Amino acid sequence: MKTSQLALRILIITFSRLLLNTAKRFIYTFAPALSRFLGVPITSITSLIAIGQGTSVLGVFLAPLGDRFGYKLLMLAGLISLTVGMFAAGILPLYLTLVFTVMVAGLGKVLFDPAIQAYVGLKVPYHRRGLVIGILELAWAGSSVIGIPLAGVLIEKAGWQTTFILFGILSLICFFLVLFLVPRDRGIQSSPDSSTRTLVLLKQLLTNRSAVGALLFFFFLGIANDNIFVIYASWLEGSFSLSLVALGVGTSVIGAAEIFGELFTAFFSDRIGLKRAVFIGTICSILSFVALPFMNSSLPMALAALFLIFISFEFTIVSSFGLCTELTPDSRATLMSGIFATAGIGRVIGATIGGPVWLKGGLVAIGSVSAGCTLLALLALYWGLRDWKNEKAISD
């Protein structure tokens, strides 16, 4: 495959993922405005977040279809789900319609994300995988730095319905770009001698020690991340009396940290080895959580703490994506969907306990819980990869 062809396909996939990520994250930012637009209580909007998170579990059962029938098929299914959801909310702006939109848009991300990770694992050599996945993951930070601000401008200037319809048009364009410019791939599990049943694939996954270690790794990281993510605004506001506008600075710091973490993955993880990069990033994450309570003396120190936490976390997560695409080469989408599901469950737990932990023990408790969970993630990964050998990763 020519480098220019691969670069074009990665660009198309990255933009498609930017749309999916923006659709997932913008409800967090615009929940009050959305509740006023629909005339429903704010609690009705925040409940949609749980619905969106709940769709991540469905990926465990749907994404293995990519291993059977090809990853491009799942990409297309994810984009058409997003398209249908956006047009539905734009044409019929009702609360029940928005519930449908959140469900199918979340389903689109559940289908699309494991498929692109698996596609990269299939098409990109291992020694270049960190670079490509690092570029793909820029779509996550890009949704907070570019996608959500642009959505805010569109909502203010053109209204909610027009914004949803525009998102639907853009996702439909991406659907056709993937359809015509990304070549079809054959499912690895399609041979007559291989099991093609989803439950069998999942069972095989759970008997693979390296895969189980990866699943536990992402589960504990999900708890650690959302434990701090749900309280950082309360921390900044309570400690430094920040206005809503000033709180936006904290969010921009997180977005900048995510971008730097993804860029570091793209440019350095392949050079030092993906497995080594993941262990280094995880250790840095532990240290950043431990340091958190000691960086509360001033606003610049607090923002620096957030930057360190999220840059190390993002570097760890994105590098681990590249590593995990090689753990089970015959069922890449199955493993990646399991990873997204366990990480989603971990985030739900982290978001649930974050508030009580904050009220009970403040930054010391938050930092301790997140550091402890990250340490458990490190131990789980070490256990899973202790005997893992791969000739492609010999430099690790």
Q: What is the pLDDT of residues 40-65, one digit of tens each?
A: 876 676 667 667 766 777 766 776 67
- What the chain holds in terms of domains, given with CATH numbers, is 3-180 (1.20.1250.20), 207-388 (1.20.1250.20)
Query: What does the H/E/C string look like for the chain?
Result: CCHHHHHHHHHHHHHHHHHHHHHHHHHHHHHHHHHHHHCCCHHHHHHHHHHHHHHHHHHHHHCHHHHHHCHHHHHHHHHHHHHHHHHHHHHCCCHHHHHHHHHHHHHHHHHHHHHHHHHHHHHCCHHHHHHHHHHHCHHHHHHHHHHHHHHHHHHHHHCHHHHHHHHHHHHHHHHHHHHHHCCCCCCHHHCCCCCCCHHHHHHHHHCCHHHHHHHHHHHHHHHHHHHHHCCHHHHHHHHHCCCHHHHHHHHHHHHHHHHHHHHHHHHHHHHHCHHHHHHHHHHHHHHHHHHHHHCCCCHHHHHHHHHHHHHHHHHHHHHHHHHHCCCCHHHHHHHHHHHHHHHHHHHHHHHHHHHHHHHHHHHHHHHHHHHHHHHHHHHHHHHHHCCCCCHHHCCC
Q: What is the pLDDT of residues 193-211, one digit of tens each?
A: 444 455 666 677 778 889 9
The residue ranges of the chain whose pLDDT is under 70 are 1-2, 28-32, 42-43, 45-47, 49-50, 53-54, 59-60, 63-64, 186-202, 242-251, 389-396
pLDDT at residue number 199 = 63
Work out the angle at residue 224's Cα, subtended by the Cα atoms of residues 223 and 228, and round it to the nearest 5 degrees.
Answer: 110
- Mapping DSSP to helix (H, G, I), strand (E, B) and coil, where does residue 366 land? helix
pLDDT at residue number 282 = 97
Stated as kind and residue range, the H or E segment containing 183 is none
